[in-house]
Structure 1
C-alpha cells in the first residue's frame, strides 16, 4: 500500500506561511472528519516548525484533508510545502524522528512530539502497518542515541538551559522555578522545562499583562515585577531571558538566602550581575557557556550522520521485510485456521450429545491445544517458504 507524507516546515516556508496551517482545536476537529475514512488512519504532526500528515493512501487524499481543514488551497500547499511518497516518505519520517530534519540538528523535542501525534492518532484505530512503522521509527531513534554521540550535548538555547537544570537537580518535578521574562526565549524555556517534568514555575515580567498571557498558555503563575525579590527568595532555579540592558538580578537579591540556587542567564546583554557567582551556594551559567556547548554539540552530531543513515536504512529494511512477511503469511494462516476450525467444530458437534458437560469441556480444551500445535507447524513451514522466496528473489 502506498505511503505518503504531505507537509510544510521551516526549511521551505517562514512563519507567516506556516501559521496558515496551524491546527487549533476547531481545525483539528475538521481534520478528523476528513481523515476518518482514510484506510489505516492518518497521523498528524503539528509543531511550531512543521505541520505534516502521514497516511497509507495517495498524497492527494492528505492534501485535500489538510487544505480543507485550514481553509487553504492545494496549489498553495504545492508551492510552499512538500510531498513525499513510498521510499522518500519512509526516509523522511525516519529523519524527522531521529532529529536529522530539525532546525536544531538532533533536537530531542521532536521525538516526544511524534510520540504524542502517534498516541493521538492511535485513538482512531491505526492499521497494523502504522503501528509497526512507528515502532521502527522509535527504535531507530533509540539506536541513534545509544550507538552514536548524536544525542549528546545541548543544541539549542532553550533546550540547553533545561539540560543544565536537569544535570544540576536530576529531577525538575519538585523544584521551585522562577522565569524572568515573557518574550520568545522565555516561552521556549518554559515549554522545555514543562516537557521535562517541571511543575512549579513562576513568571515575573515588567508587563504583567504579557506575563499573564504567557502564564495562561502554560498554566503557571504570573507575578508583577514588584514581586521579584520574594520570588527570587523562594526559587531553586532562576532563568532570565529579557531585553533589559543592565542586570536585573544583583548580589543584594541573593544575600542572606539559605538554599543553594542555580541561575541561568539567557540574555544578551546579561541580566544577572556576574558578582552573584561569588556568593556561597550560587551557581551561575551564562550564554557564553551555553553557546560554546551548543557549537561543540552540533559538530559532534554532524560526525554521526553517516552512521545514522545506516541505522535508518537497517530499520526501514527490517520494517518493510515484516510487512512483506505479514502480507505473505496472514492470509494463508487465516485460511488454515478457518479450515481447522471447520473440521474440529464439526467433529465436536457430532459427540456433543454423547458426552456429559465436564467431559465435553475437557475434549474442547484438548482440541484447542491440538489446533495450536498444528498451527505452529504450519506457521513454521510458511516462515521457511517466505525466507526461501526472499533468498531466491
Structure 2
C-alpha cells in the first residue's frame, strides 16, 4: 500500500475552474463513501476555495490516481478545455511532503495563512465520519496537525496580517486598543468591506451599520452580519454615529470629502474617527487625512503593509521547510517500519527489554548459583511465547490493506518505537 494524491490548486487552476471542483460537507462524505473499496480503503478529501485534493491509500498508485481523477474531477470539469492540465498527481514520499506543506501554510495562496490547518482538520473529521480512516491516514493526519502547530509556534510564518481587511482592523486596533463600545459604519457592499466588518465583529465592536446606494443590498448585508442600516443620502448623520468607517463602494466619484467629514466631526465634538478606504478607485478624498483627529488609511497604505508582512513571512519559509522535512522523515520511518521484518525485530526487542528488566529486578530473590539458569529459562520462555506470532507475521505484506492494519495494530498495541531503518 502507498499514498497517492490527485487534485488542483490555486497554483494550477484559475478561480473559475476551482469553483467547479468545490465539495461541500455532504458531497465530500458521499464521494468518500462511493470511492472506498478494498483497493483504496483509506481516503481524505480536502476541498477549499483554493484547492480540491483527494488522498488515498492504495496498492496500485498509478491506477488509483487515474481512477480518482475520473471519479472526482471528470464530471465537474466536463466541457472545460485542457482541464486535465490543471490536475496533478503525486505518490509516496512526494505525496506526504505535499500534504505537510499544505498543512504548514507553505502551499497557500497567502504564505502562512491560518485557516488551512483548520480546513485540514475538518477534512480529516469528514473522513472519520465516512469511515475511510485507517492507521496510515491517521498517522499522516496527526503528522500534518503537528507540522501546522510547529510551523506557527516555532516560526513567525503566520505573523503580520497580509489581507487588506485584517490589516485595516489591526491599524484601527492600534488607535482604539479596545473595540468594546465602538461603533462601525460600512459604506458599500464589497467583499473586502464584508471581511473587514467580520473582523471588527470578531473583536466585539459594539454595533455595525451598513449603508449603500441600493437599500436592498444594505439590508441583505446587514441581515447577514447582524447589523442595522442607514440611508445613503445622509452620510453625515451616519458618520456622527460611528467611530470606525469602512468605505468600499468603488464609485467613480468621491463618496466622502473633507466637507462631509468636517461637518460630522463638529457634530461629534472632534472625537477620534478612523476611516478605512479599501475601494478602488478611492472613495475618500485625500485631504480628509489632514482633518484633526481623523485617521485615514487607503488601499495603498494597506497594501504596503501587506507587502512588508509578506516579505517577513517569506523569510521564515526555510525554517518551516526544515520542520516539514523532519516530519516527513518521521512518517517515512514509521511507514518503512511496517514491513514484517522491522515489526518482528522490534517486537522481539520489546519483549527482551521487559525480560531483562524483570530478571534484574527479581534476581536477588534467587541464589547466585541459580541466576544463570533463571536467565536461560526466561530467554526460552520469551522465545516460545513469540514463536507462533513471529511465524504468522512473517507472511504479512503491507501491500495488503488488512495485513497492513494488523502490522500497524501490533506496533500500537505494544507501543513499539520505529526501527532505525538505516541500520
Which of 177, 186, 189 matches 2:193? Answer: 186
Give the Cα separation in 2 of the matches to 1:133 and 1:173: 42
Equivalent runs, 1:322-337 vs 2, <5 Å: 322-324=334-336
Offset, 1:171: 7.1
Which of 242, 247, 252 matches 1:240? Answer: 247
Partner of 1:275: 288
Distance 1:319 1:175, change over 3 A: farther
Distance 1:74 1:63, change over 3 A: farther
Q: Which has the higher contact order (CA 8 A, sep 6+)?
A: 2
Equivalent runs, 1:168-247 vs 2, <5 Å: 176-190=183-197, 201-212=208-219, 214=221, 218-221=224-227, 223=229, 224-226=231-233, 228-229=235-236, 231-244=238-251, 245-247=253-255
> What SS does the corresponding residue of 1:314 show, helix, strand or coil?
helix
Which of 93, 114, 119 matches 1:108? Answer: 114
Which of 321, 326, 329 matches 1:314? Answer: 326
Larger Rg: 2
Partner of 2:263: 252
Q: Provide structure 1 residue ranges, at least 5 long, that are not aligned to the other structure.
A: 338-374
Offset, 1:293: 1.4
Partner of 1:95: 101
Offset, 1:198: 7.4
Distance 1:255 1:136, change over 3 A: farther
Task: Verify: 1:305 aligned to 2:317, yes or no.
Answer: yes
> What SS does the corresponding residue of 1:225 show, helix, strand or coil?
coil
Distance 1:61 1:145, change over 3 A: same
Q: In the comparison of the two structures, how many residue pairs are matched?
A: 345
Offset, 1:94: 1.9
Partner of 1:13: 13
Task: Verify: 1:70 aligned to 2:70, yes or no.
Answer: no
Give the Cα separation in 2 of the matches to 1:290 and 1:166: 14
Offset, 1:324: 4.8
Distance 1:307 1:390, change over 3 A: same
Give the Cα separation in 2 of the matches to 1:17 and 1:151: 28
- Are the counterparts in 2 of residues 203 and 215 from structure 1 also a CA contact under 8 Å? yes
Partner of 2:421: 390
Distance 1:271 1:150, change over 3 A: same
- Are the counterparts in 2 of residues 255 and 279 from structure 1 also a CA contact under 8 Å? no
Q: Per-residue CA shift, 1:124-153, capped at 9, x if unaligned? A: 343343343233223223332333332222
Offset, 1:163: 3.8
Q: TM-score under structure 2 normalisation?
A: 0.66
Distance 1:192 1:2, change over 3 A: farther
Q: Per-residue CA shift, 1:239-281, capped at 9, x if unaligned? A: 222212314272323433376554322124432355366444x
Partner of 1:367: none
- Are the counterparts in 2 of residues 98 and 141 from structure 1 also a CA contact under 8 Å? yes
Give the Cα separation in 2 of the matches to 1:288 and 1:236: 22
Equivalent runs, 1:35-184 vs 2, <5 Å: 35=35, 39-47=41-49, 49-57=50-58, 58-67=64-73, 70=76, 72=78, 77-125=83-131, 126-165=133-172, 176-184=183-191
Give the Cα separation in 2 of the matches to 1:74 and 1:287: 35
Distance 1:319 1:165, change over 3 A: farther
Offset, 1:313: 0.2
Q: RMSD value over aligned CA atoms?
A: 4.1
Offset, 1:174: 7.6
> What SS does the corresponding residue of 1:142 show, helix, strand or coil?
helix
Distance 1:14 1:43, change over 3 A: closer
> What SS does the corresponding residue of 1:272 show, helix, strand or coil?
coil
Distance 1:145 1:166, change over 3 A: farther
Partner of 1:292: 304
Distance 1:71 1:156, change over 3 A: closer
Distance 1:127 1:145, change over 3 A: same
- Are the counterparts in 2 of residues 105 and 155 from structure 1 also a CA contact under 8 Å? no
